[in-house]
């Protein structure tokens, strides 16, 4: 069995657009006709350039290879250009292709991917979700409205979720870490208070940030949130400043989580060694794929750290997350996004039920991709999947920021 063909489909989710502006899906085919699906997460270059990188990685390092040889292909890509160090774009391309290889291998053997990675540890995977506006909410006002957030939280709990994430502290700017304004701190506290009062002890609060604070700013904010006992304080400072993040972890009585923007165990290992985080959140479509993230999970075990695979993408990466989550002993939970489009794109083959996901028993990733639907929603814009704000923090009027891919208004 050899890898022969690559197809790339860029799909834009319709409004409200949760999961980013577009999803880069890859489809690999073998010489004996087996197809596998993968997804590359959050490219940091434009779509034409990223697709060229994906094609180059496949042609240079994977075409003609047996898809069983995951380790060999990873080492080729990791070493390409005389590097042997993490490269976010190249490894992002490989990650989606690697996921597709596992889909092929599972289908070839008639077994789910988790069965090829050590077997099933978790029959049901605890899921968490962002708080999103309910149908009657004003989409613009929602992100700065604690009362609406509390209402959305109650809805999530009524559907069985035991963990909910929100990130009211914005903005995420290209300027790096900043000191939060008092307005932003007060707003974050108000969100925590309203949501905690709404859900009581029925759900954990997951406080999301995206590397937007300085070390001192993160500590100041984190200490203000401590009375509401969030389960985690996500990526409080830029992800490449590991020792500074460790300072935050030591100063704040909330577990620190990080990993969405890291790639390969080379970047996760210092996080564990320094004590910068006790919860790792790799995005499988960027961090090296399923096998590399299985290694990261094993490293984390040695530090009693837990895994919470990240998702702000499409359902193919989600399916890979679920396969990994099913086979690791140090799973905390897995992120999920529920929209009709996510569900339809994989023909309802994986679903959240009462706040949990059951690991599929079907071969490969356990999904059936609706290829016609994927192709029927091409991306026609020129933005990136996610983007940082250029304007600095507004200390006068306060900040209202929806994240890196504001929802479409149509």
Residue 105 CA: distances (Å) to CA of 99, 102, 159, 327: 10, 5, 35, 16
Q: Which pLDDT score, from 0 to 100, does residue 272 have?
A: 98
Q: Examine the residue annotation and report whether 310 is marked as an active-site residue of this protein.
A: yes
Name, in order, each residue with C-beta under 8 angstroms of 123's C-beta and a sequence gap of 6 or more. Answer: 358, 359
Q: Encoding tokens for residue 232?
A: 């985690």
Q: Which runs of consecutive H residues, i.e. helices, occur in 264-397?
A: 264-274, 290-302, 315-327, 340-345, 371-375
Report how far residue 132's alpha carbon sits from residue 110's, in angstroms, rounded to the nearest whole number: 37
Q: What is the mean pLDDT of the chain?
A: 96
Domains, the chain, ordered by start:
115-364 (3.20.20.120)
- pLDDT at 63 (0 to 100): 98
315 φ, ψ to 5°?
A: -75, -10
- Assign 402 a pLDDT band (cuts: 50, 70, 90): confident
| Cα separation, 165 vs 169, whole angstroms | 12
Q: Are 93 and 52 in contact (CB under 8 A)?
A: no
Closest CA to 253 of 237, 269, 231: 231
100-131 tens-digit pLDDT: 999 999 999 999 999 999 999 999 999 999 99
**Torsion angle defined by CA atoms of residues 312, 318, 321 and 323, in that order, rounded to the nearest 10 degrees:** 180
* Cα–Cα distance, 5 to 64 (Å, whole number): 9
Q: What angle do CA 300, 324, 289 make, to 5 degrees?
A: 85
| Separation of alpha carbons 361 and 120, rounded Å | 10
Separation of CA 389 from chain center: 20
pLDDT on residue 330: 98
- The active-site residue out of 61, 310, 342, 385 is 310
pLDDT above 90: residue 401: no
Residue 220 burial class via C-beta count within 10 angstroms: exposed 0-12, middle 13-18, buried 19 and up: middle
Q: What is the predicted pLDDT for the residue at 106?
A: 98
DSSP 285-300: TTTT-HHHHHHHHHHH
Mean pLDDT of the region 244-255: 98
Token digits of residue 352: 């959240």
- In percent, the amount of the chain with pLDDT more than 90 equals 92
Dihedral, 112, 125, 70, 101 alpha carbons, nearest 10:
50
Q: Name the active-site residue from 210, 342, 377, 385.
A: 210
Q: What is the pLDDT of residue 409?
A: 57
For residue 216, the surrounding DSSP H or E stretch is helix 215-225
Mean pLDDT of 46-67: 98
Q: Clarify whether 342 is annotated catalytic.
A: no
164-200 burial: b if 16+ Cβ within 10 Å, else e:
bbbbbbbbbbeeebbbbbebbbebbbbbbebbbebbe
CA-to-CA distance for 325 and 251, rounded, in angstroms? 30
Mean predicted confidence (pLDDT) in 230-258? 97
Tokens of 365: 């990733």
**Beta strand pairing call for 124-130 and 35-40:** unpaired
- C-alpha to C-alpha distances, 177 to 30, 152, 223, nearest whole angstrom: 46, 29, 17
Under 8 Å between Cβ of 354 and 338 = no
Asked if pLDDT for residue 410 goes beyond 70, the answer is no
């Amino acid at each position: 069995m050899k890898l022969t063909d690559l197809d790339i489909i860029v799909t834009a989710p319709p409004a409200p657009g949760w999961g980013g502006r577009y999803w880069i899906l890859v489809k690999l085919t073998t010489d004996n006709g087996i197809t596998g699906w993968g997804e590359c997460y959050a490219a940091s270059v434009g779509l034409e350039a990223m697709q060229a990188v994906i094609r180059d990685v496949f042609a240079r390092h994977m075409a003609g290879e047996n898809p069983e040889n995951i380790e060999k292909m990873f080492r080729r890509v990791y070493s390409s250009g005389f590097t042997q160090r993490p490269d976010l774009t190249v490894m992002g391309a490989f990650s989606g292709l690697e996921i597709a290889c596992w889909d092929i291998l599972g289908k070839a053997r008639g077994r789910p991917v988790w069965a090829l990675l050590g077997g099933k540890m978790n029959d049901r995977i605890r899921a968490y979700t962002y708080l999103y506006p309910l149908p009657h909410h004003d989409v613009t006002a929602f992100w700065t409205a604690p009362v609406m957030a509390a209402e959305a939280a109650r809805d999530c709990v009524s559907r069985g979720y035991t963990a909910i994430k929100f990130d009211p502290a914005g903005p995420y700017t290209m300027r790096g870490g900043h000191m939060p304004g008092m307005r932003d701190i007060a707003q974050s506290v108000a969100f925590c208070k309203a949501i905690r009062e709404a859900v009581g002890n029925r759900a954990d609060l997951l406080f999301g940030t995206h590397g937007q604070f300085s070390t001192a700013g993160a500590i100041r904010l984190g200490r203000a949130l401590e009375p509401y006992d969030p389960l985690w304080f996500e990526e409080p400072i830029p992800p490449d400043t590991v020792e500074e993040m460790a300072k935050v972890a030591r100063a704040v009585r909330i577990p620190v989580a990080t990993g969405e923007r890291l790639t390969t165990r080379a970047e996760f290992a210092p996080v564990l060694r320094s004590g910068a985080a006790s919860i790792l959140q790799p995005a499988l479509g960027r961090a090296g794929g399923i096998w590399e993230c299985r290694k990261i999970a094993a490293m984390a075990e040695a530090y009693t750290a837990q895994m919470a695979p990240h998702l702000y993408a499409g359902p193919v990466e989600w399916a890979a997350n679920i396969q990994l989550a099913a086979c690791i002993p140090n799973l905390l939970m897995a992120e999920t996004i529920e929209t009709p489009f996510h569900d339809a794109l994989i023909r309802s083959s994986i679903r959240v039920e009462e706040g949990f996901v059951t690991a599929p028993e079907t071969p490969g990733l356990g999904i059936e991709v609706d290829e016609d639907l994927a192709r029927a929603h091409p991306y026609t814009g020129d933005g990136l999947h996610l983007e940082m704000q250029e304007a600095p923090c507004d200390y006068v009027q306060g900040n209202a920021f929806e994240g890196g891919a504001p929802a479409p208004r149509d």
